[in-house]
């Protein structure tokens, strides 16, 4: 890749473009499917004791339960689904609540995972990740929607004041990780020489490099499916969290959407960008094919390293109602799994799919009104 900077630049320009450029021809467009979505509504809220913030931040989750393990597990009952989608809210002052939910027009999922990992390995053969350099790309959509958490993970802007990330970035399944009470979200911005922002001579405002500008988090939501299950049982299926910022970020954000079946994804591929810890300070973009799926998880071999956890997994498809192309977040990059494939161990990176139930829950966290969450 290093020998073809011109081709890489052209590729990134096309990726940033919102025009109707499609590799599929004029007569076929991968189209966002229409779903009949359920409703997830709060029923009761209890005050909880202030938590301990003693867990070490884990930048990835490992599990040995693969696609067949998940596909063979029983569907959750209605009561179990309500328990998993009930959620805990942590506020900036350290107070905490637990909210029980009701579900209407239920669409059940499936899932089970267990926690046992082997040697860390998240690069598959030739490293196919792209480090994104230059403010022309970093400050443009979709790369500008990727943000860094002060706990070390990645998140994605999904509304004016909201960031979607992985639950394990702030909670280990038992308690909150160190630093969560003063959690901040970092936005890459140009760093100017000579205090250029205030200078009259615009030539002095020459971008030298990028730096993070941080915004404090007002509150966080974590589903009880993660807190009850962690990476054992059903936990990995619920490895997602929503952060609400103390003030709007004033950037273009990416909407969430219900994850279509893998065979309906354009080229069978997914995309995501994150702050991999082996490339400090760099935003790293990658795309790859989906290898397998369950109702709650996507299995792929996108090259990734710890720090990319929490990245929003997205695709770009045709929106029939508005007659335009639109990118949406359809999952959250979670971590790594070793899978027994007919007696031979194989490793995958795993993303949590946004199912209709998860969409209804996350959308309600953002909007506060289920009537605004009827279209996924």
Give 263-294 pLDDT, tens digit per residue.
999 999 999 999 988 888 888 898 889 999 99
CB-based contacts of 2: which residues, under 8 Å, 6+ apart?
Answer: none
DSSP SS3 for 264: helix
Question: How many CB atoms lie under 10 A from the CB of residue 239?
Answer: 34
Tell me the C-alpha distance between 83 and 180, whole Å.
Answer: 24
The residues with which 46 forms a beta bridge, in sequence order, are: 98
Question: Which of 64, 117, 204, 233 is an active site residue?
Answer: 233
Q: pTM of the entire structure?
A: 0.82
Active-site residue 372, yes or no? no
pLDDT of residue 358: 96
pLDDT (tens digit, 9 = 90+) per residue, 194-251?
555 544 444 444 445 778 999 999 999 999 999 975 445 566 899 999 999 999 999 9
Taking residues 53-61, report their average pLDDT: 78
**Confidence class for position 340, pLDDT limits 50, 70, 90:** low
> Does residue 367 carry a pLDDT above 90?
yes
DSSP SS3 for 245: strand
DSSP SS3 for 175: coil
CB-based contacts of 253: which residues, under 8 Å, 6+ apart?
Answer: 145, 157, 158, 159, 160, 162
Question: Which of 309, 311, 334, 347 is an active site residue?
Answer: 309
DSSP SS3 for 69: helix
Tell me the C-alpha distance between 294 and 38, whole Å.
Answer: 19
pLDDT of residue 19: 40
CB-based contacts of 171: which residues, under 8 Å, 6+ apart?
Answer: 55, 177, 180, 222, 226, 227, 241
Active-site residue 309, yes or no? yes
> Does residue 93 carry a pLDDT above 90?
yes
The alpha carbons of the chain give a radius of gyration, in whole angstroms, of: 20
Active-site residue 117, yes or no? no
Q: Where would I find the H helices in 128-282? A: 135-138, 224-229
β pairing state of 184-192 and 61-63: unpaired
């Amino acid at each position: 890749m290093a020998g073809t900077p011109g081709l890489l630049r052209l590729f990134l320009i096309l990726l940033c473009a919102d025009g109707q450029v499609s590799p599929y021809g004029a007569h076929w467009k991968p189209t966002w499917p229409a779903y009949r979505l359920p409703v997830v509504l709060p029923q009761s809220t209890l005050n909880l004791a202030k938590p301990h913030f003693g867990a070490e931040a884990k930048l990835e989750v490992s599990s040995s339960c693969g696609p067949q393990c998940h596909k063979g597990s029983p569907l959750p009952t209605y009561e179990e689904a309500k328990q998993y989608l009930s959620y805990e809210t942590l506020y900036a002052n350290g107070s905490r609540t637990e909210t029980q939910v009701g579900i209407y027009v239920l669409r059940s999922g499936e899932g089970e995972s267990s926690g046992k990992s082997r040697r860390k390995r998240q690069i598959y053969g030739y490293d196919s990740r792209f480090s994104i350099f230059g403010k022309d790309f970093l400050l443009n959509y979709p790369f500008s929607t990727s943000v860094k958490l002060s706990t070390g993970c990645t998140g994605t802007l999904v509304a004016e004041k909201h960031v979607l990330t992985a639950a394990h970035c702030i909670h280990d399944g038992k308690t909150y990780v160190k630093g969560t009470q003063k959690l901040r979200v970092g936005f890459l911005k140009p760093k100017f020489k000579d205090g250029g922002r205030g200078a009259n001579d615009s030539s002095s405002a020459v971008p030298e490099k990028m730096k993070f500008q941080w915004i404090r988090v007002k509150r966080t939501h974590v589903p009880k499916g993660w807190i009850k299950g962690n990476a054992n049982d059903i936990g990995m299926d619920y490895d997602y969290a929503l952060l609400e910022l103390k003030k709007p970020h004033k950037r273009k954000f990416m909407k969430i959407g219900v994850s279509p079946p893998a065979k309906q994804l354009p080229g069978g591929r997914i995309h995501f960008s994150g702050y991999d810890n082996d490339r400090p300070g760099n935003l790293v973009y990658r795309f790859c094919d989906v290898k397998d799926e369950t109702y709650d998880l996507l299995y792929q071999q996108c090259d990734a390293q710890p720090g990319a956890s929490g990245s929003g997994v997205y695709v770009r498809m045709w929106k029939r109602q508005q007659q335009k192309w639109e990118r949406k977040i359809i999952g959250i990059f979670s971590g790594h799994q070793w899978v027994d494939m007919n007696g031979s161990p194989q490793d995958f990176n795993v993303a949590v799919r946004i199912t209709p139930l998860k969409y209804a829950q996350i959308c309600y966290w953002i909007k506060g009104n289920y009537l605004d969450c009827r279209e996924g």
